Each structure stands twice: as structure tokens, then as C-alpha cells.
Amino acid sequence: MKTDATPQTSEAPAEMQPALSIVIPVYQNELNLADTYQNLSGVLDTLPPDFAAEFVFVNDGSTDNSYAELMKIQSQSRRPVTVVDLWRNFGQVAAVFAGFRAARGLTIVSISADLQDPPELILEMVKAWQRGEKLVLAVRADRAESLFRKWTSWVFYAAMRKFAIATMPIGGFDYFLMDRQLLDLMLSINERNVFMQGQVLWPGIKPFEIPYVRRPRLKGKSQWKLSRKIGYFLDGFVAYSAFPLRLATWAGAGFCVLACFISVLLVIERIVYGTALVGWTSLMIVILMIGGVQMLTIGILGEYLWRNLEQTRVRPMYVVRQTLRK
């Protein structure tokens, strides 16, 4: 049994390096894995015979039968299949990075295991890479999901594009192909609380975009809860934007100016009109507003300080229980 943290180099011997590695994070996906593998295999069968490909599945601490399904896939597959088994659930981004470190290909595709992203787009991605593109993004033009999910996704990526990452596609992306050169650069960045899309776009490589419509989930239940979305949003915002800190500064300055203005008005009213300074309710409202802004500011600072603490502790992003290669 092998226990691994986050090695900094690829395990790929040059003479065995496949052209394509497909990295698939797996968490509670037992119902989808067989169909996902079959669909991806069907797509790979249309590639030229000399275009070797491998699968890298990462079991992110699933408590259902996902691991057993992965063992079945590995035993029956005609292509190389690597299964990276994590000790517990570390989150989708950590699982993807575990797959990246185990991948040996000249190109790497990251795709989810629920078949909401059409596998056939891999053919277009590979063609774009063969034309010289280093980064190919499958960008969501629309999604067959509830209005609430559409709205929250739009708000998420619109805010990231406006205040943090100007090159973020409007529809966002999770499904992409990158060249080995870009992957090695990403793996050299020892960062915690990673915002995946930001790290993909950070080097400044101009991406080639392929629009598509995200499909509905046919089997199983999504584990991407609202709380995880909010946490992921905060990771991206804190990592790539100083806007929250500036907002707190502006709010503090604004309240100082407002307090001075109100103080001058009250003094003038007292001197000119002799009005008594009364109003317990209004005073409490002001105190509560200022207190609320102060607590919000402390919370914003706390988000940045917590991530600094996470970075300085140098804990691994994930811990591997075993890596099984076929």
C-alpha cells in the first residue's frame, strides 16, 4: 500500500508517454461510472490508432460502490487505466490535482464523471491542440438545469470576471484540455485553496474556446452543494482579487465622512434652532450599522488571514492511499 502526498514531478517515463490523459474525479458516482467509461472509450476509438490515450480516475473518498466500479473498469479496459484512491474526501479540485500528478500524457483533459459534459468534444479539443493550441476550454453557452442553478452560476462567473479574472469566460468552464507544458507549470505552483479556473488562466496563455450546452444529470445526485460553491467562490476571490479589502476600506471611509457630515448638521441645528439632541432609536441604528461594517471588515480580513495560515502550514492538498496502474 502506498501513501503519497503531493510529489512535484510527473511519474511518466518518456518512452511510455501517451498522447492523451483523461483525468476524472470521482465522488459518489457509482451509477455513472460505467456509462462514462463507455462513452469516453467510444470517443477515443475514433482517434487515430497511434494516438495513445489513458484514463486516470481519482476516487475522492467515495463511500458508495464507486471504488468497486473503478476496479471493474480497470480490469476490463483495453486501455491503460490508473486509479488514484484518496484516504478521504478532499474536494473536487484536490482530486483533479491528484489526477494531474498521476497523468502521463502529452495533453491532459479534465472532465467530470456525471456525463453532463459531452465526451465527443474531446475530438475537437485534440484537433485544436494538434493545430498548436496549448489550452482549449469547453465553455458553457447554456446549461439544462434549474433557473436557480443558472442564476447562481451566472452571478459567480460574472463577479469573477468583473473583479478578479478579466479573461474568465462568461459561462465559466470545468472541462478543458491543456498541454503538458502548462500542466507542469501548474504543478510547480505550491498553492493551497486552489481556484482551478484561475490557475489555468493565470499564466496568460490565450485559450481556444469551444461553446457547448451542459446536459442535465441523468443518474445520481450532484454533490456540488451551495455551501461548497460559496467556499470555492471565496477561494477564487481571495486568491485573485483585492476588491474585498478595498471595499472594506471604502466603506470605512464612507462612514467616517457620513459621521462628520451628520455631526456638523447636528451642531448647526443646535446653535441656530436650539433643537435638543434626542433620538435613542436613531442613535442605536447608527451604532448597529457601524458595528456591522466593522464585523464585516474583520470577516474579510479573516478570510485572507485564514488562507495565509493554510499556505504557511504547508499541509498537502490531498493524501493518496494507493495508486493502482494497469
Q: What is the pLDDT of residues 34-90, one digit of tens each?
A: 999 999 999 999 988 888 999 999 999 999 999 999 999 999 999 999 999 999 999
Residue 28 lies in a domain: yes
Does residue 2 belong to any structural domain of this protein? Answer: no
Give the residue with greater pLDDT, 230 vs 133: 133
**Would you say residue 137 lies in a domain?**
yes
135-143 and 175-179 strand pairing: antiparallel
45 and 57 fall within a common domain: yes
Least confident interval from 106-115, 154-163, 283-292:
283-292
Asked if residue 7 is part of any domain, the answer here is: no
Does residue 63 share a domain with residue 125? yes
Decide: 133 and 205 in contact? Cβ < 8 Å.
no
Q: Mean pLDDT of all residues in the chain? A: 82
**177 - beta bridge partners?**
109, 136
pLDDT at 14: 44
| 78 and 171, same domain (yes or no) | yes
Report which of residues 211 and 248 the model is more confident about: 211
pLDDT at 227: 66
Per residue in 150-183, pLDDT (tens digit) is: 787 788 878 888 887 888 888 788 899 999 999 9
Q: What is the average pLDDT across 284-290?
A: 72
Residues 143 and 271 in one domain: no
In a domain, 8, yes or no: no
Q: Quick one: what percent of the chain has pLDDT higher than 70?
A: 84
Q: How far apart are CA 326 and CA 35, in angstroms?
A: 20
Residue 190 pLDDT > 70: yes
Residues found in the chain: 326
Q: How far apart are CA 110 and CA 193, in angstroms?
A: 18
The parent domain of residue 263 ranges over: 243-313
Q: How far apart are CA 163 and CA 161, in angstroms?
A: 6
Whether pLDDT at 24 is above 80: yes
What CATH number is associated with residue 34? 3.90.550.10
Quick one: average pLDDT of 132-153? 81
Whether 52 and 84 map to the same domain: the answer is yes
Please answer whether residues 83 and 323 qualify as being in contact, where contact means their C-beta atoms are separated by less than 8 angstroms: yes
For residue 148, name the pLDDT band (cuts at 50, 70, 90). Answer: confident
Helix 33-44 to helix 66-76 angle (10° resolution) is 30
pLDDT band, very low/low/confident/very high, at 277 (cuts 50, 70, 90)? low
Residues 138 and 255 in one domain: no
The model's pTM is 0.75
Which stretch of 190-194, 208-212, 242-246 has the lowest confidence by average pLDDT? 242-246
59 assigned to some structural domain: yes
Say whether pLDDT at 204 is over 60: yes
Whether residue 96 is found in the same domain as residue 220: yes
pLDDT of the residue at 7: 41
* Residues 208, 197: Cα–Cα separation, whole Å: 14
Is residue 279 very low, low, confident or very high in pLDDT (cuts 50, 70, 90)?
low
Looking at the 3D structure of the chain, how many domains does it have?
2
Please indicate, yes or no, whether residues 99 and 233 belong to a single structural domain of this protein: yes
In a domain, 176, yes or no: yes
Whether the pLDDT of residue 122 is over 60: the answer is: yes
Same domain membership, residue 120 and residue 258 = no
Q: In this structure, are 50 and 125 located in the same domain?
A: yes
Q: What is the pLDDT of residue 1?
A: 40
Residue 3 domain-assigned (yes or no): no
Mean pLDDT of 217-243: 68
Instruction: Residue 308: name the closest of 224, 245, 250 by CA.
Output: 245
Least confident among 1-5, 30-34, 104-108, 217-221: 1-5
Give 238 or 320, the one with higher predicted confidence: 320
Say if residue 217 is in the same domain as residue 76.
Answer: yes
- Average of pLDDT values for 224-234? 68
Distance, CA of 88 to CA of 110 (rounded, Å): 21
Q: What is the pLDDT of residue 10?
A: 43
In contact, 202 and 267? CB cutoff 8 Å? no
| Three-class SS state of 25 | strand
Model pLDDT, residue 5 = 46
Residue 174 and residue 123 share a domain: yes
Ranges assigned E (strand) in the chain:
20-26, 53-59, 81-86, 107-110, 135-143, 175-179, 208-214, 320-325
